[in-house]
Amino acid sequence: MLQGKSATINYKNKKQIEKDKRDWVKVEDTHEGIISKEVFYIANRMLKRDFYNTKEKKTDLFSGMLFCKDCNSALVRRVVKYKEKEQVFYICSKYNKEKSCTRHSIKNEDLEEIMAGIFDHYLIFHENLYRKIKEIDVSKNITDTHIGILEREKEMTQNLLSSLYADLEEDIISKEEYQMFRANYLEQIAKLNENIECRKKKQETVKERIKNNESWLIDIKKYKALTKPDRLSIVMLIDKILVGENKEIEVIFNHQEEVALLEAMASNSEEKNITDKTGINDKKDKEQFSQGYKQQTSLQFVTTQKAVGSEVCHG
């Protein structure tokens, strides 16, 4: 809701004057939206993509979703007719226009089969993840574990920087080496600080997303009834489908940042419960257990598969 778009000159003069847009008051979420924020975001994202990249000018199952894994150009749909039979396939648009990339060709039937398998894996993964995190206070327990790794790396680099002057005094390194190492360490620390701050901001953003949009965790369950992905499920669950030259398929799902943090949170929570029950108190023992536990219980789902025998010799 926008407020304060106009104002009166004074209480005696009731004439309204328009205020600068910078002075408007913007208040969000004062009314229930006609559509959810997620649907609004996805709709706006899809509007920027080429839906009708076919000669027939129609939307098909994968319209606006397929991209070349190497050049990131959209894939175009092509139809080959032979003896009254049609074969639908997709190729890189950059290859199609100017031959500046390679074909990245894949048949529609192979792609549908691969996507059905990936969807099955993803839904199973999501069900396991939801089961693990539903008892956890999501808004408080989300932590990007990589921040701790970066902070330890920063501390080690700072220690190396601190020891440089002593090495110079003891003639272990020359003055030129001292200047070179010092500049290198300072650059590393600056990059680490930037990365840490970036990840902290991203962590807070993800927390806010999850807090304001927790419904996607539950809504995804409705797709379990599908025997294969349909247009709605593909658009709502997937950001991009990348096709490699050797027909490998990589799927970038929506909410991947949220899912990664939820997965880490679920893993850490379950790991803590087990260590508490088993009475592992020694720090070294906990670290060894943690490493082995994470290797055994990772919730990673399959996002890449390779098509076999889907070469098309036309187009």
pLDDT digits (tens, 9 = 90+) for 209-229: 666 655 666 667 777 778 888
The confidence score (pLDDT) of residue 276 equals 53
What are the structure tokens assigned to 54, written together? Answer: 């076919």
Residue-level pLDDT at 291: 47
Mean pLDDT of 139-167: 85
The predicted pLDDT at position 85 comes to 84
**Of the candidates 237, 213, 272, which has an alpha carbon nearest to the alpha carbon of residue 123?**
237
Average confidence (pLDDT) over 69-80:
91
> What is the pTM (predicted TM-score) of this model?
0.59
CA distance 160 to 171: 16
Average pLDDT over residues 49-69: 73
Task: Name the residue ranges covered by the structural domains of the chain.
Answer: 145-212
Place 119 in a pLDDT band, splitting at 50, 70 and 90. Answer: confident
Q: Does 159 or 293 have the greater pLDDT score? A: 159
What does the pLDDT read at residue 120?
Answer: 87
Task: Say which residue, 252 or 137, is predicted with more confidence.
Answer: 252
The pLDDT value given to residue 310 = 40
287/49 Cα distance (integer angstroms): 46
What are the φ/ψ torsions at residue 271 (nearest 5 degrees)?
A: -65, -40
Largest CA distance in the chain: 85
Least confident of 18-22, 193-197, 230-234: 18-22
Q: What share of the chain is helix, strand, coil (3-state, %, to 5)?
A: 55, 15, 30
Q: DSSP assignment, residue 74?
A: B
**pLDDT in the model for residue 36:** 62
Per-residue pLDDT tens for 174-187? 999 999 999 999 99
What is the gyration radius of the CA atoms in the chain, in angstroms?
Answer: 27
What's the rounded Cα separation, in Å, for the pair 290 and 205? Answer: 27
Model confidence at 257: pLDDT above 90: no
